Amino acid sequence: MPDHAPPAVHAAEHDRSAIRFLDLDTPYRLLKQDILRAMETVLDSHAFIHGPPVAELESALAEHTGAAHVVTVASGTDALYLAMLAQGIGPGDAVFVPAYTYCATVNAVMHTGATPVLVDVDPDTFNIDVRDLRHRLDTLDRALRPRLIMAVDIFGLPADYPALQALAAREGLLLMADAAQSFGASLNGTRCGRLAPVTATSFYPTKPLGGYGDGGAILTDDAALAAHCRSLRWHGMDDSRTESLRPGTNSRLDTLQAAVLLAKLRLFHGEHAAREQMAAHYAACLRDSEVRPQLIPEGYHSGWAHYTVRAPNAAHLADKLDTAGIPFKRYYQQPLHWQPAFRHLAPDGGLPVTEQLAKEGLTLPMHPYLTTGQVERVCAVLGT
C-alpha cells in the first residue's frame, strides 16, 4: 500500500477553524480504514502477545532510523529502564540527567537503584549544558561512581551529541539518548536512533509517532545489548522461552499497538515535513518579537514534538492566549528539584537556567495539520 501524505490544509476556511494544541483526530480519520483492518487482522489471529506486527514494526523502525537493532517494549519509561539495566546501571552509580525534563527520565534512573545527578540546561537550546555537566562531574559525591550521561532531546531537538560523546569517551562514561520527543529528528544527516550508542523512545499517543496507548522502543547497533533487552522484556528468559537467564520483567509491546504504529508510520514522513514547515513559519512570524523560540543550531533538525518559546512575560501571554481561546501548555513549570519526590536531588546553588525556563517557557500549538493562517493567529495574539 502506498504511503499516505497529509492533505493540503492551508485553505482559508481551515485557517479560520478552531486551533488545536495537538491533533489526534485528523490522522485517525485519514488512516481509519487501514487501522481497523490491521486491528481486525490481529483480533482474528488471536496473536495478541508478540504477534507478527511486532517484528514488522521493529524492522520498519530499524529501516527508518538506520539502527541495527530495535527492541519494542511496553512504554518509553520501560525503554529507559531496561536499557540501563542491560548496561549494568545500578546502586552506587551516578546518572547525569538534565533538570529540564519530565519526571519519567528521573524515575527510570531511580528504579535501577542508581542516583540521578541533575544538570542545568543551555538557555537557548534547552538541552543539557555540557559545561554544567563537567562541573557536576568535578564535584560529584565521592560515594558515587560516575557511569552514564542520559541526554534528553527536549521538545524534539537532539542534544549536543558530538560534545557529549567526546566527554563520555574522555571520562569513561556511557551515553544514552532519551528520545521520547525526538523520533524523526536528525543531526548532520544522522537520524534519531543512531545519535547515541543507545536510544530510548516513546510511542505515547502525543509523541511524533504515537500509538493508541503506551509503548516504546530501544534502538542500538549493539547486538549483545539488544539481545539482553529482549530477554529483560520477557521475564529474563531465553529466546525459546524455556529458561530464565536473569531476573526480568513483563514489558512487551502489545500486538495491537504495533499494528496501529505500522499504519501511522505511513504518514510519518509527510507529517514531519509539515511540522518543520509550521515551525519555520512560527520562527518567521516571531522574528522581530521579544518571544524567543528554542534555538535550532545549524545541522540540527527537530522532531517538533512541541514548539516552545521563552518569554519574560510568559504568564501574561498565557492569559492572552487563554482569553483568545488558543490552547497552550506551560511544561515543566515546577522544576524537578522543587517537587517533593526529588527535592533531595537539588544541588547547592540550585539550577538557575532550569528555574528561569520554568518561569518563561510557553508551548504553542504544534502538529502536522496546523496551517500557516493558524500560526499567524497565534503570533498575532502574542503581539507580533
User: Does an H or E element contain 41, and which?
Assistant: helix 25-45
Residue 12 pLDDT greater than 70, yes or no: no
Residue 375 pLDDT greater than 70, yes or no: yes
Q: Residue 1's pLDDT is what?
A: 34
Q: Residue 384's pLDDT is what?
A: 62
Q: Residue 6's pLDDT is what?
A: 53
Q: Average pLDDT for residues 188-192, to the nearest whole number?
A: 97
Q: What is the average pLDDT value for the chain, to the nearest integer?
A: 95
Residue 4 pLDDT greater than 60, yes or no: no
Taking the C-alpha atoms of residue 245 and residue 146, their distance in angstroms, rounded to an integer, is 28
* Residue 189: count of CB within 10 angstroms of its CB: 7
Taking the C-alpha atoms of residue 357 and residue 354, their distance in angstroms, rounded to an integer, is 5
CATH class assigned to 32-262: alpha beta
**Contact predicate 76/203, CB 8 Å:** yes
Q: Residue 383's pLDDT is what?
A: 86
All structural domains of the chain with their residue ranges: 12-18+267-381, 32-262
Q: Residue 200's pLDDT is what?
A: 98
Q: Residue 98's pLDDT is what?
A: 98
H helices of 190-254, in order, are 223-233
Angle, CA 120 vertex, CA 205 and CA 275 arms, to 5°? 35
Residue 274 CA, chain-centre distance (Å), reads: 18
Percent of the chain with pLDDT over 90: 95
The b/e string for 292-330 (b: 16+ C-beta within 10 A; e otherwise) is: ebbebeeebbbbbbbbbbbbeebeebbeebeeeebebbb
Q: Which fold has domain 12-18+267-381?
A: Aspartate Aminotransferase, domain 1 (3.90.1150)
Q: Model confidence over 231-246: pLDDT tens digits? A: 999 999 999 999 999 9
User: Does an H or E element contain 180, and which?
Assistant: none
Q: Model confidence over 121-165: pLDDT tens digits? A: 999 999 999 999 999 999 999 999 999 999 999 999 999 999 999
pTM recorded for the entire structure: 0.94
Contacts of 280 (CB under 8 A, 6+ apart): none
Q: Residue 9's pLDDT is what?
A: 46
Residue 2 pLDDT greater than 60, yes or no: no
Same CATH fold assignment for domains 12-18+267-381 and 32-262: no
Give 382's DSSP letter: T
Q: Average pLDDT for residues 318-322, to the nearest whole number?
A: 97
Q: Residue 14's pLDDT is what?
A: 62
DSSP output for 142-175: TTSEEEEEEEE-GGG----HHHHHHHHHHHT-EE
Choice among 14-18, 87-91, 179-183, 251-255 with the minimum mean pLDDT: 14-18
DSSP output for 302-370: ---S-EEEE-TTHHHHHHHHHHTT---B-TT-S-GGGSTTTGGGPPTT--HHHHHHHHHEEEE---TT-
Residue 7 pLDDT greater than 60, yes or no: no
Q: 15: pLDDT confidence band, cut at 50, 70 and 90? A: low
Q: Model confidence over 246-305: pLDDT tens digits? A: 999 999 999 999 999 999 999 999 999 999 999 999 999 999 899 999 999 999 999 999
